Structure 1
């Protein structure tokens, strides 16, 4: 099993949550804030079996997208979602 930790721009959250719900993918939503640009974002925690990772990635790819934003130092590309995947030794639902 894998644990996915995704930092997502707030503007994508409603559609992502709805799509995950429809796909029967359980997700925990945690409010967070951006570091570099201090933009609103949300952290999602998802548990997925390895064979389902591509299904989850596909949802992220369909809904989130990177964008360029103007900064004092010029235009910078900001990702729609940053996803970390880590191994899970054990998982229980109690």
Structure 2
């Protein structure tokens, strides 16, 4: 038994949960926040048999695509801490961070 933990962007989570449950897997959804953009993420926890791990990963890869997004960032103007300058930067968002862990014991009651 394996535990797949997938951290995905909120925009991809509903479609991914639908794909995973339609494929017959149970999934637990946790609301999380990313550190870089400080934006909402979703962490999904999926218990799977070892031989089905690659299938679950392919579902995640098919749903969670990387894309470019413009965000505004603020920087203090040198010499004056009370004045900030805002400027847009392009960042890559989406995709998924996936962890696959061994499960010593799985109990459903």
Taking the TM superposition and a 5 Å limit, the aligned residue runs for 1:16-31 are: 16-31=16-31
Give yes or no for contact 2:4–2:53 (8 Å, CA) kept in 1: no
Offset at 1:78?
3.2
Instruction: Give the aligned partner of residue 14 of structure 1.
Output: 14
Offset at 1:55?
1.1
CA distance in 1, matches of 2:4, 2:54: 12
Find the residue that maps to 1:93 and give its secondary structure: coil
Question: TM-score scaled to structure 2, two decimals?
Answer: 0.77
Offset at 1:63?
0.6
Which deviations, in whole Å up to 9, do the C-alpha atoms of 1:11-47 show, x marking residues without a partner? 0111111111111111000111111111111110011
- Unpaired runs of at least 5, structure 2: 74-88
Task: Please tell me whether residue 90 in structure 1 is matched to residue 105 in structure 2.
Answer: yes
Q: Which has the larger radius of gyration?
A: 2
Taking the TM superposition and a 5 Å limit, the aligned residue runs for 1:5-84 are: 5-70=5-70, 75-84=90-99
- Unpaired runs of at least 5, structure 1: none
CA distance in 1, matches of 2:95, 2:9: 6
Cα 1:15–1:79 change in 2 (3 A) is closer
Aligned residue pair count: 94
